[in-house]
Amino acid sequence: MIEMPGLARVWAVLPQARIVGGAVRDFLAGHKVADVDFAVPLAPEVVMARLRAAPPRRLAGDEVTVDDLSLRTGPSHTDAVIYSGPSVRVAVRPSGTEPKLKAYLEIHLPARDDVAAARVLATTLLAELRADVVALLQRGPN
C-alpha cells in the first residue's frame, strides 16, 4: 500500500477515488511515491460548473478568494479557477488532451531560520490541502 500523509483523510471523504498514473508506476517499481493523482467518477465540466457556482470558503484552514479566469478578457481568458489564501494557492483547470481535471497545489510560507520545522509545516499543510481539494472536486464546495 502507498503510504503518504493525508491519504487516509482522502479515502475517508472519497472512498471511490482511485490512485492512477505515475504513483502506481512508482509504487510497483519499488520507488518512493512523491505525487498522487486520483480518478473520480464526475465529468470535468460538471466539477468546473460546481466550482464556479459555489466556490470554497476555506482550504487547509486558510480563508480563500477565487479568481475565475473564464471571466477575464484577452490572453488570460481560459477555463480555470484559482483559489488563493495566505499560505495556499490552488489552480483547477480541465486537461487540454484528456477528459480529466488538473489541480495545481502550492504552499507559501514566510522565510524561517528553522528550515526543518518549515518543511514539516509545509508537508502538513500540503497534505491538508490535498485532502481538501480532493474532497472539493468530488463533493463540491464547503
Residue 134 parent element (H or E): helix 115-139
Looking at residue 23, its pLDDT comes to: 80
Q: Which residue has the higher pLDDT, 125 or 134?
A: 125
Distance CA 64, CA 105 (A): 13
More confident of the two residues 60 and 142: 60
Position 73 scores a pLDDT of 95
Inter-residue contact 70 to 111 (CB < 8 Å):
no
Question: For residue range 71-111, what is the model confidence (pLDDT) as tens digits?
Answer: 999 999 999 999 999 999 999 998 888 878 888 999 999 98
pLDDT above 90 as % of the chain: 40
DSSP three-state, residue 63: strand
C-alpha cell at 121: 509545516
Which amino acid is residue 107, in one-letter code?
Answer: I
Length of the chain as a residue count = 142
pTM across the whole model: 0.73
Distance CA 139, CA 23 (A): 23
Domain architecture of the chain: domains with CATH: 42-139 (3.30.310)
The confidence score (pLDDT) of residue 32 equals 80
Cα gap 112→73, rounded to integer Å: 39
